[in-house]
Amino acid sequence: MPILSIIVPAYNEERTIQQVIERIQTSKLPENFTREIIIINDGSTDLTRTIVDSYAERHTVIHSINTGKGGAVRKGFHLSKGDYIVVQDADLEQNPDDFVDLIKPIADGQADVVFGSRFLGSYRPISLLMNLHYLTNKAFTVIANVITGYRTTDVWTGYKMYSRRALDAILPALTADGIEFELEVTVLLSKKGMRVADVPISYVPRWYAEGKKTNWRQALVSLRKLFEYSRRKV
């Protein structure tokens, strides 16, 4: 019976973490699949710890010092036992019912990793700030595609579905602690010869007043890191 491991990194997500976990628990999966939920509290200073502790008898709950998304996700990856592995952000931007569509290209033998593309789905930027984020993402995606040879449409997507084979191939080389983790993953997948496919996903963006954590300084650091990853031998 195939297992889907769902990694949930959380940092100060007291407003949404319970809703996210409840939605994961009841989300649609392919027939005969079971789920493993691993929650990583990444040094939260709000009530996130208390909320996730209430799920500790049913799921794996880990508390750690704050390292950033990449560091938290790596902890979950090392604990995961599933045949398929996905990262579910704790902010309600993504829809766990998309798991079925993310799994399908891997199950059908067409891909090793599937990128859930926000821009192939219904999302459209409707404000100046949203357009700036969109254009920044597209620029990073174009650069990443040139480096990797992929034709993905959303390199920054947090919804990446991994086959066990693909994750095991790149996990020993993963080092990124911050949001540049998504770029490192993409470059490592290409260096390991993994096939990548895009599928559209549902996406409800949140912004800074609602807890969005990315900023322009991180974007500049990530650009430098992207070129560093491209030169690294693995």
Residue 208: pLDDT band by 50, 70, 90 thresholds?
A: very low
**If you search the block for the tokens 């990797």, which residue do you land on?**
148
Single-letter amino acid, residue 136: T
Lowest mean pLDDT across 129-133, 148-152, 194-198: 129-133
Cα–Cα distance measured from residue 123 to residue 128, given in angstroms and rounded to the nearest whole number: 15
Length of the chain: 234
State mean pLDDT over 170-186: 96
Q: Would you state the pLDDT for residue 25?
A: 97
Write down the pTM of the prediction. Answer: 0.92
| Overall domain count for the chain | 1
Please, which residues have CB within 8 angstroms of residue 57's CB and are 6 or more apart in sequence? none
Cα–Cα distance measured from residue 41 to residue 72, given in angstroms and rounded to the nearest whole number: 8
pLDDT at 108 over 90: yes
What tokens appear for 111 in the block?
Answer: 């891909």
CA angle, 212 then 217 then 223, to 5°: 105
Of 7 and 212, more confident:
7
* CA 114 to centroid of chain Cα atoms: 11
Q: How high does pLDDT run on average in the chain?
A: 92
Cα–Cα distance measured from residue 116 to residue 217, given in angstroms and rounded to the nearest whole number: 25
How many other C-beta atoms lie within 10 A of the C-beta of residue 42?
A: 24
Q: What CATH number did the domain enclosing 82 receive?
A: 3.90.550.10
Cα–Cα distance measured from residue 12 to residue 35, given in angstroms and rounded to the nearest whole number: 25
pLDDT at 211 over 50: no
Q: Would you state the pLDDT for residue 233?
A: 87
State mean pLDDT over 89-118: 96
**If you search the block for the tokens 């880990």, which residue do you land on?**
62
Print the domain residue range for 218: 3-231
Cα–Cα distance measured from residue 201 to residue 98, given in angstroms and rounded to the nearest whole number: 6
What tokens appear for 27 in the block?
Answer: 């989300």
Cα–Cα distance measured from residue 37 to residue 231, given in angstroms and rounded to the nearest whole number: 35
pLDDT at 210 over 50: no
